[in-house]
Structure formats: C-alpha cells, structure tokens
Amino acid sequence: MSNRTQHVGLISAARREIFEAALKSPLWMMLGWNDIRQRYRRSVLGPFWITISMAVFISVLGLIYSKIFSIEIKTYLPFLTAGYVIWGFISQTINESSGAFQEGDRIIKQIRLPYGLYVFRVVWRNIIIFAHTIVIFVPVALVFNVRPGAMIILAVPGFILLCLNLIWISAALAVIATRYRDIVQVVATAVQIALFATPIMWPISTLGESTWIANINPLYHFIDLVRGPLIGQLPALHSWAISTAIACIGSLIAVVLLRRASQRLVFWL
C-alpha cells in the first residue's frame, strides 16, 4: 500500500512541476525568443535564412524525386513541402531537446525553477522557426492549386497533438541526455535514419502491400495529422488514435523520469 501511495505521490509531484512550468509561459516564451535573437544576431534575414535554404532544398529535391517516383510535380511538390517542413520542426526539436538542461545550467544552478520550463523553451523556439518555414507551403499551394478547404482546420488540433508528443519526448531525452552525454550522438543518428524511414520524401503508396512499414512508425502518424489537412487529405482515424495513445503513455513516462531526476539533475550538469 505504501509503495502505491509513493508512486501516486511521485506522479502528482511530477504533474505539478509540469503545470507550474506551463504557468510560467511568459518566462519560457521570453527565453525562446531570446534564443532566436541571439542565434541570428547581426543577421539581416534572421530565421528566414532557414526558410530560404529549405525552399531551395525542397525545390531541387521535388524536381528529382518526382521523376524517380514517376509522380506529377503538381502532386508531389505540395506533399514534399508540407511533409519536410513539419519534419524539420520535429527533427530540430528532438535534436535540441538533448541539450535542454545543459544550455540552462547557469539558471538551474542559481534559481529553482520547474525543469519543464527548459523543455517548453526548446519546443517554443522551434515553433517560432516552424512559423517561418511553413510559409514555404503557401506559394506552393497557390501555384499548384492546392485547395484543402475547411479540412485545413484539422491541422490545428493535429499540430497541438504533435506538440504534446514533442514535449514528452523532449522532456524524456533531456533527462537521459543530461545523465548520459553519449545519448546526444545516438539521438542525432536516429533522427537522420528516421528521415529516410518515414514517408516524407516518398509517399506511402509506393510501398504497395507493405504499408505496415509506415503504420508502425509513430512519426508517420504525427506528420500525417498536420500534412494531410494542408494538402486536402483527411488524416486516417488510426493516426489520431495512435498519436493520442502515444501522447498519454509517453507523458506518463516523461513525468516519472523528470521527477525521479529532479533531485539529482543539478549534480549531473
């Protein structure tokens, strides 16, 4: 009975820490904005350099891969653009989450703030960058006459669910990478492999009867929830179910990790 009470107390304490971090949104939003300003200080275009480089990359890749997959450019380029921009948001957030506590070590060692705050900081600044890169899709949609109609509204809850999943993934990786520094390289390698293993540059239809390869990949479902409505396709119902289930289970794992590490984290930095 005492073990169960201790476990419930652990979860409650972790939840309180996450909620406290969420309530301090003015602080982590300010830190996120400051990160962007510092990263692109003295740059004329700032974050739009990412937009330009991504636009060039997508254009070249679209012309080549549309020929490889024998898909019309007007169908393939909107698919690739939406998918790759969303993937950029996911991959950058995951990669940066490994150093969430390390980059905030000076604050952590001086002031006691909820550790979730540093996770929200990473996710928020990448949302800002995503807002700069998603504009690439607008001219592509106009040129190739992509009209998602009212379905585009579904991209909003899809993006929120994607962010919820990225928050727990970032929190878990931040804890593990702070304790074991080699995890940073493991995560970077895994993200590179995931780019080619996820239907981003190749449509799921190319798999034929082997669509299960995409369906067992959670990243496919995360991307589908946002990309589908943007290009006028209704996301699969199981993508919603799988993404929601992963968010619930993953959040539980993350809060337990975060709470268990909270007393030791400062000594790992």
Residues 218-241 pLDDT 10s = 999 999 999 999 999 999 999 999
pTM value? 0.89
CA distances from 93 to 59, 109, 267 (A): 23, 24, 25
Query: Which residue carries 């970077």 as its tokens?
Result: 188
The Cα angle at residue 167 between residues 266 and 149, in degrees rounded to 5: 160
User: Whose CA is closest to 115, among 72, 64, 173?
Assistant: 173
- pLDDT for res 48: 73
Q: Helices 116-133 and 73-97, interaxial angle, to 10°?
A: 160
Give the helix ranges, DSSP H, for the chain: 2-23, 25-39, 48-68, 73-97, 105-108, 116-133, 137-143, 155-179, 183-197, 212-215, 218-230, 237-261, 265-268
Cα angle value 98/249/269 (rounded, 5°): 25
Say how far apart CA 52 and CA 163 lie, in whole Å: 24
Q: What is the pLDDT of residue 42?
A: 67
Token readout for 31 is 């830190």
Where helices occur in 24-47 by DSSP H, the ranges are 25-39
What is d(CA 56, CA 22) in angstroms, rounded to the nearest whole number? 36
pLDDT truncated to tens, each residue of the chain (269 aa)? Answer: 455 555 555 556 556 667 777 788 888 888 888 888 887 776 666 667 788 888 999 999 999 998 888 889 999 999 999 999 999 999 999 999 998 888 888 888 888 888 888 999 999 999 999 998 999 999 999 999 998 888 899 999 999 999 999 999 999 999 999 988 888 999 999 999 999 999 999 888 877 777 888 889 999 999 999 999 999 999 999 999 999 999 999 988 888 888 888 778 887 87
* CA 84 – CA 154 distance, rounded (Å): 19
The structure tokens 């930095």 sit at: 269
Question: How many other β-carbons are positioned within 10 Å of the β-carbon of residue 20?
Answer: 14
* Residue 170 structure tokens: 């970032």
